[in-house]
Structure 1
């Protein structure tokens, strides 16, 4: 029995020594195997790549070392539409655009008030007998404010065919011929009175009174040969001293008269 056990132990020792020799041979051959290049027909070894590496290579970025574990690039994105600032100042008004097309005519409006009577027209047939006459007055006193000022009247006694314009204080000749004109004024105490009877823009006769402690009536008359559309009017002339004429609401102190004596055509 002891002999059998001894034989078995000896056999195991021999097998163990053989296995040790085999393992030692394998370990000695590993460096030679690792240094032998692969056959020419064998496919090259490939490295691990990410699916987006080819895009970075196209953009010109440097090639990544597959052996390094790099962090991905982070690019922040800001949505500008959510960043609303304060309301700005109002800009300047732009240039007006082109006028559009005319629209349709509107509805007819209400009738306006009746206008004032217009100036008389030109005379008619020269074969007919023509007349012209006026007599007007002023019930308000007047102080001359300008160097040249027309004397305007507010009272009508006669105004045949409306040849005398009450708004302008002028007689307009529509019947050429010889006319007679007369002006009557009342002076003011301690004030100068200085007037002209005018034919168009030319002084014809003067009405003048020096300052005095007493007021007086002054009168002037003239005959004039007038042509078509000539104007005859009274002008106040202001100098260094105050120029004024007197009147009141009770009596008429200022009058201006004129009438046709002989027409040019009969």
Structure 2
């Protein structure tokens, strides 16, 4: 059917050639018509869409001539209601081992001061055998001149030294009973020479005893009260030499004395 139609449609194109065939009594084979038949492009059949019974009858706008790809089949999952299968509550398990300590955080801000507490009860009486007294009084019979460095004034004569709290070898008093103490230093100046000394608490100068050079020697004194802690040291230091610095004494009389005693212990 299609070949007959094609032959009829090509009559106008191949009219002269067919008349030549008739003129030549059909001698030319039918093969000569094949190129003309092949040169005519047949019309394409209209596209057909594959539809399912559930699809819309009309194709979507802008649909291509190709058949639409098959749609993905939805996944079917089984749903189990766990509340129906939930059993009774089990017993509490054993406590696990504690974990490692974390990194220590920064210190927080200091809190406000709390209210003052009430007065506490009186403590038991102290030990009667415990030392609550301390006193010493020492002197020096030899004169002393300063050197190029600071030096402790060492004494060679003992008047009082309770419990040996004053060390004669080092020239220092060592506190064994904390509390308030009184100290006194007396010296005799040397004429035409300066006198420059300190009463020391540990390594700190507390008071100075000073006398300017004079034509005559005089007695000079200095006193102080100190609050001492356990093992505090109290001693006399002679200033290093910048000018003639000295204290006078002789082998007969005692001109230089250093005294100290406990006024009130802290544990009283």
Aligned pair partner of 1:201 in 187, 203, 213: 203
2:183 is equivalent to residue 181 of structure 1: yes
Equivalent-residue separation in structure 1 for 2:160 and 2:255 (angstroms): 17
Equivalent-residue separation in structure 2 for 1:187 and 1:238 (angstroms): 16
* CA contact 1:153–1:169 (8 Å) conserved in 2: yes
Structure with greater helix percent: 1
Provide the secondary structure at the position in 1 that maps to 2:148: coil
Alignment of 1:113-128 (within 5 A): 125=127, 128=130
Alignment-derived partner of residue 215 in structure 1: 217
2:129 is equivalent to residue 158 of structure 1: no
Alpha-carbon deviation of 1:239? 3.9
Deviations 1:46-65 (A, max 9, x none): xxxxxxxxxxxxxxxxxxxx
Alpha-carbon deviation of 1:214? 0.6
Alignment-derived partner of residue 226 in structure 1: 228
Alignment-derived partner of residue 258 in structure 2: 256
Provide the secondary structure at the position in 2 that maps to 1:161: helix
Alignment-derived partner of residue 170 in structure 2: 168
Query: Size of the alignment, in residue pairs?
Result: 143
Deviations 1:238-260 (A, max 9, x none): 24202100001111000000000
Alignment-derived partner of residue 240 in structure 2: 238
User: What TM-score do the two structures reach when normalised by structure 2?
Assistant: 0.52
Aligned pair partner of 1:137 in 136, 139, 142: 139
How big is the alpha-carbon RMSD for the aligned residues of Structure 1 and Structure 2? 1.6
Q: What runs of 5+ residues in structure 1 fail to find an aligned partner? A: 1-123
Deviations 1:140-178 (A, max 9, x none): 000011330100000000000000000000000000000
Larger deviation, residues 137-146 vs 196-205: 137-146
* CA contact 2:142–2:250 (8 Å) conserved in 1: yes
* CA contact 1:176–1:226 (8 Å) conserved in 2: yes
Following TM superposition, the consecutive aligned residue runs of length 4 or more in structure 1 with deviations greater than 2 angstroms are: 124-129
Provide the secondary structure at the position in 1 that maps to 2:251: coil
Equivalent-residue separation in structure 2 for 1:125 and 1:164 (angstroms): 24
* CA contact 2:148–2:241 (8 Å) conserved in 1: no
Equivalent-residue separation in structure 1 for 2:235 and 2:222 (angstroms): 13
Provide the secondary structure at the position in 2 that maps to 1:188: coil
Alignment-derived partner of residue 149 in structure 2: 147
Deviations 1:116-137 (A, max 9, x none): xxxxxxxx95884510000000
Alpha-carbon deviation of 1:235? 0.1
Distance 1:194 1:250, change over 3 A: same
